[in-house]
Structure 1
Amino acid sequence: MDKASIIKNIKEHKNQPNLRFELKERTESFTNRLFYTLFDIDTPVDENLDLLEKEFDALVNLACWQVDKPCQRVWANFVVRLPQILEKLNLDAEAIVNCDPASLSIEEVYMAYPGFYAIAIYRLAHELYIDGFPLVPRLMTEYAHRQTGVDINPGARIGNSFFIDHATGVVIGETAIIKNNVKIYQGVTLGALYVAKKLQKTKRHPTIENNVTIYANATILGGDTVIGENSIIGGNAWITESVPANSTVYHSPIIKIKTLPHVS
């Protein structure tokens, strides 16, 4: 096959007219600028809000493929909510510094904790998600996923003072509900019991009530599964049904240690 035929065949198979990876790259730039605008003390808020609006207009042109969708109004709705989002994120940072004995300062949490970064990008993306802005919220949280190992779908609903410790391997599904003062550790999955396209519009992921702690590698599945308030879920637990309030759930592995006798 000659070069002309290869080019022709590739063009014939490039059949997604809206697939522009420029959208992904611009979303990542927008996400970075947004994070710095909210947190970096040397970043001028007034100038950056103007730059963010221009960047957002570019995202609208790339992401809003149906002309009847009012994407232009999304920025106006989003920007007025930024102070409230920042207030929530400051509560998240305080929860981390108060709960983690390894944290040396609040500044360390903002700059070095992957769990905080993942929560921050989730909260920003979630506001765009609920406004119906297509694809960009998912690209934002996937960018954070790539940076931190934390996969939070922008559709999840998460309350105040959320703490993810160590972070790597955490998965939180689209319809999960997490209420206030919840702490989770690395490797936790809040997932679906069944994966089928027909379940797209149903609640597939669990509800976590106030003041719950979920330790490393626990898996909690199902849209009807509710973890009652003040409960503790131990590491490696596998849960597919509801847990009453004030419960402790733990996995009991069978561990056998075999030692060789001393050889003289």
Structure 2
Amino acid sequence: MKIKNAEMEDDINRVTNMLMLDYSENKKIDQLMPYTHPDKETVISLIRHLMILVYPGYYRNKVYHGYTRRTNVQMILEDVVYNLIQQIKMVLPYLKDNKDLDDEALTKKAKKLTFAYLEKLPAIRAYTETDVQAAYDGDPAAFNKDEIIFSYPGLYATLVNRLAHGLYELGVPILPRMMTEIAHNMTGIDIHPGATIGKYFFIDHGTGIVIGETTVIGDNVKIYQGVTLGALSTKGGQSLKNVKRHPTIGDNVTIYAGASILGGETVIGEGSVIGGSCFITTSIPPHARVSIKNQELSINYPKSDADDAAEPKDVPLDNRWFYMI
């Protein structure tokens, strides 16, 4: 049955009136200020352009392919500078010290932060070079380094974290977390921009990894899918802000799939290996090997109809199964 246009318009007007009435209650989510809030699509574009600057031989804006590398870099930088200044300017008023700054002062501060950030790019590139090498050295399935750069989610998530961490170190709010959550959405790897990560870091497979804000990771660390480097408890909420809540991982540590290492006082000593599914809330000495005792394996084979008929009907089903983690 066709809905008449007049009926449709009446329904749309009715729902519009309902929403406008609801908006008038001034909920936090009703702050409709598109020109004073950061824009997610712009942040995604910034990540893409920053990746071109990090990997000039792999990612490029195809419009610029006829120019020299210097010209390409300058053109991309112009775009990054303009958008980054605008986005930083939008988020600076979230900080108490900036609430009363006028437009000119905010622009000046955003420009200063933008160029301080861009000056970090050579150091970020140096760390990324070591991450690519660590992935190649640590994964026999890697065909070559090109494959790693183009396709490994762990490398992408780590690079976005390094890019976001640079802004985080400068005290820029909101934007760093937006960047890492974009990478989280794409890769299933959740790294807070506050986490400090050393050189030669390799995430293998990666899905389900969580690395908390105050985590510190040394050099030559390798972690597998499902690893959590988290806090023991967040019941304190905002009272725990700026408190070391997440573990410290020493150099040359390997953490296998599904392990959880929790707590700000927890330190994993240099050269240790943490086995899969371990749950750790206390420090581990250097060069230790941590594992869970092997679980019993129980296999229930298919039975014939005759076997089923002979089996007592009052045997609890649970007695024939063994729970395994």
* Segment drifting more, 135-144 vs 18-27: 18-27
Q: Does 2:222 align with 1:206? A: no
Q: Report if aligned partners of 1:23, 1:63 keep a CA contact under 8 Å in 2.
A: no
Q: Which runs of 5+ in 1 are unaligned?
A: none
The structure 2 residue matched to 1:227, chosen from 268, 281, 290, is 268
Instruction: State the match for 1:104 in structure 2.
Output: 143
TM-score of the pair, normalised by structure 2: 0.76
1:204 partner SS:
coil
1:184 partner SS:
strand
Q: Deviations over 1:16-61 (max 9, x none)?
A: 5486465222111111111122214244222111110011122123
Instruction: State the match for 2:223 in structure 1.
Output: 184
The structure 1 residue matched to 2:86, chosen from 51, 54, 58, is 58
Structure 1 position 256, deviation (Å):
3.0
Instruction: State the match for 2:96 in structure 1.
Output: none
Instruction: State the match for 1:27 in structure 2.
Output: 43
Instruction: State the match for 1:46 in structure 2.
Output: 74
Q: Deviations over 1:130-183 (max 9, x none)?
A: 101110000000000001101000001111110000011000000000000000
TM-score of the pair, normalised by structure 1: 0.93
2:115 partner SS:
helix
The AA in structure 2 aligned to 1:205 is H
* Segment drifting more, 246-255 vs 186-195: 246-255
Q: Deviations over 1:55-109 (max 9, x none)?
A: 1122123222235463331111111110111011011011101110000111111
Could you list the runs of 4 or more consecutive aligned residues of structure 1 that deviate by over 6 angstroms after TM superposition? none
* Residue identity (%): 40
Structure 1 position 253, deviation (Å):
4.3
Q: Report if aligned partners of 2:38, 2:91 keep a CA contact under 8 Å in 1.
A: no
Instruction: State the match for 2:178 in structure 1.
Output: 139
Q: Does 2:260 align with 1:215? A: no
The structure 1 residue matched to 2:163, chosen from 116, 119, 124, is 124
Cα 1:136–1:222 change in 2 (3 A) is: same
Q: In structure 2, what is the Cα distance between the partners aligned to 1:234 and 1:72?
A: 47
Q: Which runs of 5+ in 2 are unaligned?
A: 1-12, 62-71, 94-98, 307-325
Q: Report if aligned partners of 1:185, 1:214 keep a CA contact under 8 Å in 2.
A: yes
2:25 partner SS:
helix
> How many correspondences in the alignment?
264
The structure 2 residue matched to 1:174, chosen from 209, 213, 217, is 213
Q: In structure 2, what is the Cα distance between the partners aligned to 1:248 and 1:259?
A: 33
Instruction: State the match for 1:157 in structure 2.
Output: 196
The AA in structure 2 aligned to 1:155 is G
Q: In structure 2, what is the Cα distance between the partners aligned to 1:130 and 1:29?
A: 21
2:39 partner SS:
helix
Q: Report if aligned partners of 1:206, 1:226 keep a CA contact under 8 Å in 2.
A: yes
Q: Report if aligned partners of 2:38, 2:87 keep a CA contact under 8 Å in 1.
A: no
**Higher normalized contact order (CA 8 Å, seq sep 6+, divided by chain length):** 1
The structure 2 residue matched to 1:72, chosen from 99, 106, 111, is 111
The AA in structure 1 aligned to 2:245 is R
* Segment drifting more, 250-259 vs 234-243: 250-259
Q: CA RMSD in A?
A: 2.0
The AA in structure 1 aligned to 2:17 is A
